[in-house]
A and B are shown apart, each in its own frame.
Chain A
């Protein structure tokens, strides 16, 4: 069974949703991001999203844009990000890793080669922001061949008929972009989330996680109780980035990020 399925089955038995923190690869340097990645599960991460830095992150707000810029400056590439996951897997074989990024670095790397190398590195799923189902067929067969889940994104703007259509082939889990907007900006209300989840549940049986605009422990708890998991990205990066000096990590950087994750994890477990 895949790590993602095992993880959600276990959480279901525990009767709670997942905490899915996000980490931008190589932000602000390779070693810091690897160390943080390694310590995230112990701090309460159930699954982890690893962002692949891209020069033009048009769906991201200022916090992740800056993280991507720092990552690129530190030499991040798609190959380097896969290598980061490999290094993580030497000490952790159970926490699912989801790569999140934009299509061009993958397209340039080569679609078949990417799926094979991601699988070998220990990646479990991939979220490609700018690869909608209409264009995904060129990558999907290669992902399927190695058991890499291509995570389907859904949004408040997705009509019901389209939801049913695009979720037919969904695997792993469904990512619900809970606001119309970019990352790290506004937040969905509890009511909006409940309405959306009802729509999603009637279209799919696989787990649904919510992301975009989830900043505080309370928001994470609400989102993870209505859906099957909460993705938190900008809030963690923002806290950590506040500890940087001249764009470089300090002794406070990793502890600050982990502390943020612990507070989110505690709220979800309440």
Chain B
């Protein structure tokens, strides 16, 4: 093994893994743009998290639940039929869809619920888009017997019915949010309103690497288990680092999780795939980096889809989990410094990738993850058969079957 493989600790002075700074900034991005009512809470949360992070007992407890409840480690699957079909690089799928509840979301939720318990909070609120984070949150609330309130856009409630019912079964209360377009952005506003009104006993369990500091860093830390495992697994299977890593991006938690342990491997290109929706210039897109500008929303500065007057515009994607006008601040910084390539895939490309992967590998991917597979289908043919790509298969697609059927003109 070369030193670049073994020396992956973020103790280097020039490491890209040391962010954010003490006040939660990644370059100009991140920060804590919250109302004063919440500010003391953010400071308290930061302190609680720092103590927990450094506490071996906390790490041991988290490791226990990740192994025995979440089902980690997740496999790294060499998708030979897909690779042969694409006729280029070998595709390795990081199987986050095999986690309990069917996506990477539980990695973060498990970490935060243990923290909430340490902080003595008895009530959990969360926002959700596709419902994956809502289901994961409702799941751990059931596991630990905590009150659970989920805010979900009314449009998403409609297009993700199976997940809504799942949350009900798990004992959570699901609040459909009708403000705005009734999607993730509006659910986030409403969850923040609940939190500010119930700060004493309530923990806001953020589902992605966005929001005020320390959420982006904390969620990234909890999700980095994906990249840490994938990095070890690809070396075990191929004796070297990969030639590319690809992940889909809404808020960006699965991408941040798989990218972070590779950030200092400068020879490994990283690709974050935004949802282009109907096309980057269609006006119906969710590609915040490609078509947005820096701004402040939901507690952090980051790239946002907005008009010239600073009003946030509605995102569009076939995938409810990517339908958000912003992106985690660390991604915005990684874009600014050029470490990660932010690309995009359209609704149509994602639908094609969904079907291709299902047919060739017997794995039904979430529409979110299908965007990553779609970009792999563009990149792999340009590479040699000796090169390797890791694609983060962040979630399974069972929840999307009705949506896909509708798009294919099939009545279930």
Contact = CB atoms under 8 A, between A and B. Distances in A.
A59 B35 contact: yes
Given A58-B192, A105-B309, A159 B34 contact: no
A259 to B, nearest CB: 30
A184 to B, nearest CB: 11
Given A158-B40, A185-B197, A108 B310 contact: yes
B48 interface: no
Contact of A135 (B33, B196, B198): B33
Contact of B37 (A56, A134, A135, A155): A155
Nearest to B40: A157
Contacts of B315: none
Contacts, number: 118
A154 B36 contact: yes
A56 B185 contact: yes
B295 A107 contact: yes
B197 A104 contact: no
A180 B40 CA distance: 12
A264 interface: no
Given A54-B311, A162-B40, A132 B199 contact: no
Contacts of B8: none
Interface in B181-223: 185, 188-189, 192-193, 196-200
Contact of A61 (B193, B198, B293, B310): B193
A155 B35 contact: yes
A106 interface: yes
A28 B33 CA distance: 29
B32 A134 contact: yes
Given A56-B312, A72-B311, A130 B40 contact: no
B309 A177 contact: no
Contacts of A181: 37, 196-197
Contacts of A72: 311
A156 B312 contact: no
A153 B36 contact: yes
B196 A59 contact: yes
B309 A78 contact: yes
A198 B276 CA distance: 54
Interface string B277-311: 00000000000000001111111010010101111
A186 B196 CA distance: 12
B120 interface: no
Nearest to A132: B39
A133 to B, nearest CB: 8
B197 A157 contact: no
Nearest to A153: B36
Contact of B309 (A56, A77, A162, A185): A77
A163 B312 CA distance: 32
A107 B312 CA distance: 13
Contact of B306 (A104, A154, A157): A104
B199 A157 contact: yes
Given A132-B36, A180-B199, A58 B41 contact: no
B19 interface: no
Interface in B72-119: none
Among A102, A104, A129, A155, the one with the most B-chain Cβ atoms within 10 Å of its Cβ is A104
B360 interface: no
B197 A130 contact: no
Contact of A182 (B23, B40, B197, B301): B197
Given A180-B37, A180-B197, A135 B310 contact: no
B96 to A, nearest CB: 30
Contacts of B199: 157, 180
A244 interface: no
Interface in A43-91: 54-59, 61, 65, 72, 77-79
Nearest to B193: A182
Given A56-B185, A154-B36, A155-B37, A135 B31 contact: yes
A180 B313 CA distance: 29
Given A58-B192, A132-B34, A65 B295 contact: no
A103 interface: yes
A121 interface: no
Among A55, A78, A131, A185, the one with the most B-chain Cβ atoms within 10 Å of its Cβ is A55
A159 B40 contact: yes
A104 B297 contact: yes
A119 to B, nearest CB: 19
Contacts of B198: 180
B295 A104 contact: yes
A65 B190 CA distance: 11
B180 interface: yes
A130 B299 contact: yes
9 nearest CB pairs, A to B:
A108-B310, A105-B310, A181-B197, A155-B37, A153-B36, A77-B309, A55-B311, A58-B189, A104-B310
Interface of A: 54-59, 61, 65, 72, 77-79, 102-109, 129-132, 134-135, 153-159, 162, 166, 177, 180-182, 185-186
12 contacts: A55-B311, A56-B185, A59-B196, A65-B179, A104-B304, A107-B295, A107-B296, A130-B34, A132-B32, A135-B31, A158-B36, A180-B197
Given A155-B35, A157-B40, 4 more contacts: A108-B295, A132-B33, A155-B36, A155-B40
